[in-house]
Structure 1
Amino acid sequence: MDDRTLNDLLRRFGLSDKEVDTYLSLLAHGEAKASTVADAAGVSKRYVYSVSESLAERGFVEVNDHVVPTTIRANPPDEVINRLRSDVDAIRPGLEERFSRVERQTEQFEVIKSRVTVIKRIRSLLADADAEVTLSITAEHLPEIRDSLVEAVDRGVLVLLIVSGTDDAPENIEGDLGGVASVVRTWSEAMPILLTVDSAAGIVVPPELLHRSNTDRQAIHFSQEQLAPVIVGSFLGNYWPAASEVATAAPAPLPAEYANFRHTVLQATLRLRAGETPHVTVGGRWTDDDESAEVSGRVVESKQGLVEPTTNEFPVEHSLVVETDDGETVTVGGQGAFVEDVEADLVRIEADGADRDEADASGED
């Protein structure tokens, strides 16, 4: 390799022209006094000391300042190369993470023009759901995604479903809705297909796209954590109250843990309405000082708009009132809570002690 190419490559690793000259002079001498290197590199002795410290920090040389006069030794090329390779490997994860972040940002929105692709996207999103699904779908197209909904419910996902565009009386379609959702409502009016999954991704589809082959209307598939909660808020605040409740799944077996707080509220509400008093252990933070919190006690009230009769004061309010084991009353909300005392991250629901004793007694009989 000629000197010019070698110099260019070394400069790519951040070495200045003088640093390159100094380092190559040291390679030629192996180990030398600062004055010797200064003469060979055409720089001052003071500059050699300064450059050598910089080169030593990056692993190119070793400064032997414990001897008089001080000498500078070039490290073996293999050691230098391994050090450079290690540095490159160390920055790889950070570079890849930032690059993938840009890729995700560029893929946050996708325009869909095909009815077939819309159904495929819905199935794919439902298959990826971990915690929560909100969905409005026409009665005509519900059968095409029914299996995906049933699988999500079986995985323990909270599924809030509006079946729209049907003039059937609720009692005539209840039999077709078993197992497809945690709560099902119907609305006779036509409405867009709205799907959100885990408040992170979803799809918005105008009704015309699924009903007409010659329409120029388009669907939007989005993957943006800032947009999805807005869609959820619109779903729960505008469409859900206008629809009629026709089916609700039975309470899940206890004990159970939920990171999704709306699911927690639904399960606690169903238990309360069955005459039970569920016991919860809540992990999260106190909203007044942001300190970590752990609350344990009996749920005495729920404020919610998921099932009838609703008890919340505004559409997106979902909270629990807990009587702690110490006799205090604490209000618990979900992500972003600020009105309640505690913002919950994880909630464990168990049968209350009295309920467990009664169940055990029944079992003995």
Structure 2
Amino acid sequence: MDDRTLNDLLRRFGLSDKEIDTYLSLLAHGEAKASTIADAAGVSKRYVYSVSESLAERGFVEVNDHVVPTTIRANPPDEVINRLRADVDAIRPALEERFSRVERQTEQFEVIKSRVTVTKRIRSLLADAVDEVTLSITAGHLPEIRDSLVEAVDRGVLVLLIVSDAGTAEDIEGELDGVASVVRTWSEAMPTLLTVDAAAGVVVPPELLRRSNTDRQAIHFSQEQLAPVIAGSFLGNYWPAASEVATADPAPLPAEYGNFRQTVLQATLRLRAGETPHVTVGGRWTDDDEPVEVSGRVVESKQGMVEPTTNEFPVENSLVVETDEGETVTVGGQGAFVEDVEADLVRIEADESGPDETDAGNVAGDE
């Protein structure tokens, strides 16, 4: 080990640079007078006495003041190491007791100043999507992320897409195949808003994507409290103003979903195809928080994802289920309180009395 590395390690045990020089000189001499060590370490004799007392308290040296002149002896390294190890072991229980085991917080906000970085962040977030994506993107920039959207849809992710700053559906018709579960267009320019799995996303002002010399900046966030707010604004303010131009075919059955918006969309598409999907819902009663499993036929959905909308407020998504026992139960998603049941997991199957559905497609197309 070189001197620099040795000095760095000794500093970790609280020794100052002069204490290290004094101690290493003592090690080289074994035992010596203060004046000898002072000359070797380049410090005063008085300082050697002071440092030696400090080193002796920590077990590094032993001061023999019963002789004249006083001598200072370095303790064997094994003794020093064993004492340091014993000190470390002694403090371990107290440190463990005080240590709070929490997950390391990821960076919650990042300021983005370039279009290239915005595109990279969007692609990265889409690649990580598991359950749900809400996205508004300009027609001009849709081709840059189109492949990432198609891959997300192919993985079974619910993708609700607004293509903004678009002329007519025909202008972007070739870009819409397979890019989303539902696509809407809006002729006006709007911010690029992305949320992924209600946990992360980006907010980009229109100017940043339109001009290279703007001082406007985008925000990339990773915060579970913020993402639902952005998604709520997207669905409540922008989604109703846009026009529906494409909807994916229902996914093949049976299918199981933890994302309730996806459940409602799939059930709605089945209902509008003249089918009566059968669901098994695992969740809890909203009035007493007791666990429950509900099984029955979906007879109605309330939603605003596809036309015609049937919800009473923008973010309402619920199912009306006629149970196998003949009762009518309303089912909502996470945080439901108006409905009878808050669903955690829903399995959708073809109704036994209906046709056997095995090969429904999952590619977006114009309605």
Question: Structure 1-normalised TM-score?
Answer: 0.72
> Which stretch of the first structure deviates more once superposed, 304-313 or 355-364?
355-364
Q: CA RMSD in A?
A: 9.7
- Farther off after superposition, 110-119 or 52-61: 52-61
Contact kept? 2:178, 2:365, Cα under 8 Å: no
Q: Are the equivalent residues in 2 in contact too, given 1:245–1:308 (CA < 8 A)? A: yes
Please identify the structure whose Cα radius of gyration is greater: 2
Q: Hey, what's the Cα distance between the residues in 1 that align with 2:340 and 2:186?
A: 36
Q: Bigger CA drift: 14-23 or 295-304?
A: 14-23
Aligned to 2:240, the other structure's residue is in SS state coil
Given the superposition, is the C-alpha separation of residues 279 and 217 from structure 1 closer, same or farther in structure 2, using an over 3 Å criterion?
A: same
1:355 Cα deviation from its structure 2 partner: 1.0
Q: Is the partner of 1:181 in helix, strand or coil?
A: coil
Which residue number in structure 2 is paired with residue 272 of structure 1?
271
Partners of 1:258 and 1:347 within 8 A in 2: yes
Identify the residue that residue 258 of structure 1 maps to in structure 2: 257
Shift, 1:174, TM fit = 3.0
Could you say which residue in structure 2 is the equivalent of 1:71? Answer: 71
1:81 positional shift? 13
Distance 1:346 1:72, change over 3 A: farther
What's the CA shift for 1:211? 1.1
| Cα separation, 2, equivalents of 1:24 and 1:344 | 69
Distance of aligned partners of 1:357 and 1:135 in 2 relative to their CA distance in 1, 3 Å threshold: closer
Cα distance in 2, alignment partners of residues 231 and 199 from structure 1: 9
Give distance in 2, aligned partners of 1:84 and 1:36: 27
Q: Deviations over 1:30-54 (max 9, x none)?
A: 9999999999999999999999999
Query: Quick one: distance in 1 between partners of 2:325 and 2:63?
Result: 66
Moved more, 262-271 or 45-54: 45-54
Distance 1:343 1:160, change over 3 A: same
List runs of 5+ in structure 2 lacking aligned partners.
Answer: none
8 Å CA contact 2:109–2:219 kept in 1: the answer is: yes
Q: Deviations over 1:75-120 (max 9, x none)?
A: 9999999999999999999999999998854610000001100000
Give the deviation of 1:226 after TM superposition.
0.2
Q: Deviations over 1:254-278 (max 9, x none)?
A: 0000000000000000000000000
Cα shift at 1:168 = 2.1
Distance 1:165 1:77, change over 3 A: same
Any idea what the Cα deviations from partners look like across 1:205-256, whole Å, max 9, x if unmatched?
A: 0011111111110000000000000000000000000000000000000000
1:167 Cα shift? 1.7
Q: Deviations over 1:276-295 (max 9, x none)?
A: 00000001111001111110
Indicate how the Cα distance of structure 1 residues 9 and 222 shifts in structure 2: closer, same or farther if over 3 A, else same.
Answer: closer
Normalized per residue, the structure richer in helix is: 1
Aligned pairs for 1:94-109 within 5 A: 105=105, 107-109=107-109
1:27 Cα deviation from its structure 2 partner: 27
Instruction: State yes or no: 1:364 paired with 2:344.
Output: no
| Number of residue pairs the alignment of both structures matches | 364
1:306–1:5 CA distance, 2 compared to 1 (3 A) = closer
**Maintained 8 Å contact 2:106/2:222:** no
Does the aligned pair in 1 maintain the 2:247–2:365 contact within 8 Å? no
SS of structure 2 residue aligned to 1:100: coil
Gaps of 5+ in 1: none
Contact 2:202 2:221 in 1 (8 A): yes
**Shift in CA distance, 285/358, structure 1 to aligned 2, threshold 3 Å:** closer
Greater relative contact order (Cα 8 A, min sep 6): structure 1 or 2? 2
SS of equivalent to 1:103: coil
State the alpha-carbon separation in 1 of the partners of residues 173 and 11 from structure 2.
Answer: 73
Give 1:70 shift.
44
The answer on whether the counterparts of 1:252 and 1:267 sit within 8 Å (CA) in structure 2 is yes
Shift of 1:176: 2.4
**2:284–2:291 CA contact under 8 A, matched in 1:** yes
Tell me if structure 2 keeps the 8 A contact 1:174–1:247.
no
Aligned sequence identity (%): 90
The answer to which of 341-350 and 43-52 deviates more is: 43-52
Q: Is the 8 A contact 1:174 1:246 kept in 2?
A: no
Secondary structure of residue in 1 paired with 2:305: coil
SS in 2 for 1:317: coil
1:178-201 superposed Cα distances (whole Å, 9 cap, x missing partner): 100000000000000000000000
CA contact (8 A) 2:247 2:366 kept: no
Deviation by residue 1:50-78 (Cα, 9 ceiling, x = unmatched): 99999999999999999999999999999
Q: How does 1:286-365 map to 2 (within 5 A)?
A: 286-356=285-355
TM-score of the aligned structures, taking structure 2 as reference length:
0.71
Distance 1:116 1:78, change over 3 A: same
Q: Report which stretch shifted further, 309-318 or 49-58.
A: 49-58
| Shift in alpha-carbon separation, 1:33–1:351, aligned structure 2, 3 A | farther
For residue 135 of structure 1, give the secondary structure of its aligned residue in structure 2. strand
Q: Check the 8 A contact 2:203/2:219 in 1, yes or no.
A: yes
2:102 is paired with a residue of what secondary structure? Answer: helix
Task: Check 1:18–1:187 CA distance in 2 against 1; reply closer, same or farther (3 A cut).
Answer: closer
SS in 2 for 1:210: helix
Distance in 2 between residues matched to 1:70 and 1:342, nearest whole Å: 85
Would the alpha carbon gap of residues 303 and 12 (structure 1) be closer, same or farther in structure 2, given more than 3 Å must change? same
1:18-57 equivalences in 2 (<5 Å): none
